[in-house]
């Protein structure tokens, strides 16, 4: 069976930027100078080794006409009149860089600010409990009525010491709204119901150290999928041919064959889930459902000719959003030849 939780790779790896301290002072001490300047970062979540653009912002001072000095760990990295931005390459995981910027205006006002950059890493893993058949290679995609499972895997390091994931605080948000019932210290996982078919959901998690010095926010956006019906040949010798889903038009070198349908991404524990309801039609005529396995249908084309149009509609006993439909044109042969059922074909 395919593992229920196939972690993907939405893996979002980034770095946290945290403002360690911001101070400002002025020689003439005019009102408001203590909050005269601030430092903005872009990107706000770089990876270790990324280049970060630092931008000076001030609602009070004349930045274009001021002399500006940028320093990193006490070393000058930029200087000049109106030099309101510069860039720096961040170091390895947990490496701290102290940024200092000082501004001297034309009329002699001096202001300064500091910030500390400490890169971290964060993986955000996503999965769903929607149904997928055995040996399915992909990740289960969320559909209405299923659940979305997320796990944040932070790697925070400071002063050469890794901070355990259980010692960090997690704030989960859905479309900007804080999910207080699943947020808190050590709450690195989230289980969320998928409630609708339309629109896009954005799930974000903000991870912070207890002292607030390290922080990072990552997010993932997704839209729920309609379940997809796939049809497989249930061979009398080899069983269900999971390696080859039937296409819209299929040739079967037999006069009788059993087929099994799989409702990909449906709200179901298995194809035998009693909540699933299957209705089969062959050439517009409803066919009685197999009571033991309603996802199967057997067609005998002996003394028949032409194409059999097989149609299936699948619904759910309580999830009214689930209404999947599929159709396949199947041609049977009255003169079976030697064929290899494991021969690769387009799916």
Whether 316 maps to a domain, the answer reads yes
Q: What is the mean pLDDT of residues 67-91?
A: 95
pLDDT digits (tens, 9 = 90+) for 145-187: 999 999 999 999 988 899 999 999 999 999 999 999 999 999 9
pLDDT value at residue 338 = 45
Whether 347 maps to a domain, the answer reads no
pLDDT value at residue 198 = 74
pLDDT value at residue 335 = 61
Of 99, 117, 135, which residue is a domain's last?
A: 117
The 10 Å Cβ neighbour count of residue 44 is 13
Whether 5 maps to a domain, the answer reads no
Whether 81 maps to a domain, the answer reads yes
pLDDT digits (tens, 9 = 90+) for 265-299: 999 999 999 999 999 999 999 999 888 899 999 99
Does residue 321 surpass a pLDDT of 60? Answer: yes
pLDDT value at residue 11 = 32
Whether 11 maps to a domain, the answer reads no
Does residue 30 surpass a pLDDT of 50? Answer: no
Same domain, 61 and 139: no
Same domain, 131 and 196: yes
Range of the domain at 181: 121-222
Pairing of strands 228-235, 239-245: antiparallel
- Residue 106: is it exposed, middle or buried by C-beta count within 10 angstroms (0-12/13-18/19+)? exposed
pLDDT cut 70: percent of the chain above it: 86
Backbone angles phi, psi at 268, to 5 degrees: -165, 145
In whole angstroms, give the CA distance from residue 261 to residue 240.
Answer: 10
Does residue 18 surpass a pLDDT of 50? Answer: no
Those residues whose C-beta lies under 8 Å from the C-beta of residue 127, and which sit 6 or more positions away, are 4, 5, 6, 7, 8, 139, 140, 148, 149, 150
User: pTM of this prediction?
Assistant: 0.77
pLDDT cut 90: percent of the chain above it: 63
Same domain, 133 and 159: yes
Task: Supply 303's token pair.
Answer: 């003394």
pLDDT value at residue 35 = 64
Whether 12 maps to a domain, the answer reads no
Of 117, 149, 166, which residue is a domain's last?
A: 117
Q: How far does Cα 192 stand from its chain's mean position?
A: 13
Whether 32 maps to a domain, the answer reads yes
Task: Supply 143's token pair.
Answer: 């559909």
Confidence class for position 29, pLDDT limits 50, 70, 90: very low
Of 175, 206, 222, which residue is a domain's last?
A: 222
Same domain, 84 and 176: no
Q: Of 63 and 14, which is predicted with more confidence?
A: 63
User: Per the structure, how many domains does the chain have?
Assistant: 3
In whole angstroms, give the CA distance from residue 168 to residue 150.
Answer: 16
- Identify the H or E element spanning 88: strand 85-89
In whole angstroms, give the CA distance from residue 99 to residue 101.
Answer: 7
Confidence class for position 234, pLDDT limits 50, 70, 90: very high
Whether 6 maps to a domain, the answer reads no
């Amino acid at each position: 069976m395919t593992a229920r939780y196939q972690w993907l790779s939405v893996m979002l790896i980034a770095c946290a930027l945290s403002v360690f301290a911001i101070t400002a002072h002025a020689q003439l001490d005019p009102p408001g100078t203590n909050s005269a300047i601030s430092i903005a970062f872009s990107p706000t979540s770089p990876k270790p080794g990324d280049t970060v653009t630092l931008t000076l912002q001030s609602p009070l001072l004349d930045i274009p006409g001021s002399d500006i000095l940028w320093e990193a760990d006490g070393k000058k990295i930029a200087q000049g009149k109106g030099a309101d931005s510069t860039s720096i390459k961040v170091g390895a995981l947990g490496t701290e860089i102290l940024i200092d910027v000082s501004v001297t205006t034309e009329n002699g006002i001096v202001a300064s600010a500091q910030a500390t950059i400490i890169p971290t890493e964060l993986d955000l893993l996503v999965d769903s409990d929607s149904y997928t058949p055995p040996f399915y290679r992909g990740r289960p995609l969320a559909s209405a009525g299923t659940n979305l499972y997320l796990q944040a895997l932070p790697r925070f390091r400071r002063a050469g010491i890794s901070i355990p994931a259980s010692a960090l605080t997690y704030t989960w948000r859905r479309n900007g709204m804080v999910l207080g019932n699943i947020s808190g210290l050590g709450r690195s996982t989230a289980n969320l119901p998928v409630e609708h078919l339309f629109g896009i959901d954005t799930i974000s998690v903000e991870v912070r150290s207890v002292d607030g010095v390290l922080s990072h926010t990552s997010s993932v956006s997704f839209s729920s999928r309609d379940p997809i019906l796939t049809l497989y040949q249930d061979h009398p010798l080899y069983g269900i041919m999971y390696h080859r889903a039937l296409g819209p038009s299929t040739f079967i070198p037999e006069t009788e064959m059993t087929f099994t349908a799989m409702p990909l991404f449906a709200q179901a524990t298995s194809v035998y889930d009693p909540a699933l309801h299957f209705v089969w039609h062959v050439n517009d005529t409803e066919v009685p459902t197999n009571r033991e396995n309603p996802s199967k249908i057997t067609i005998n084309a002996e003394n028949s000719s032409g194409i059999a149009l097989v149609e299936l509609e699948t619904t759910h006993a309580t999830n009214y959003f689930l209404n999947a439909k599929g159709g396949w044109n199947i041609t049977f042969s009255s003169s079976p030849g030697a064929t290899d059922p494991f021969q690769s074909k387009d799916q």
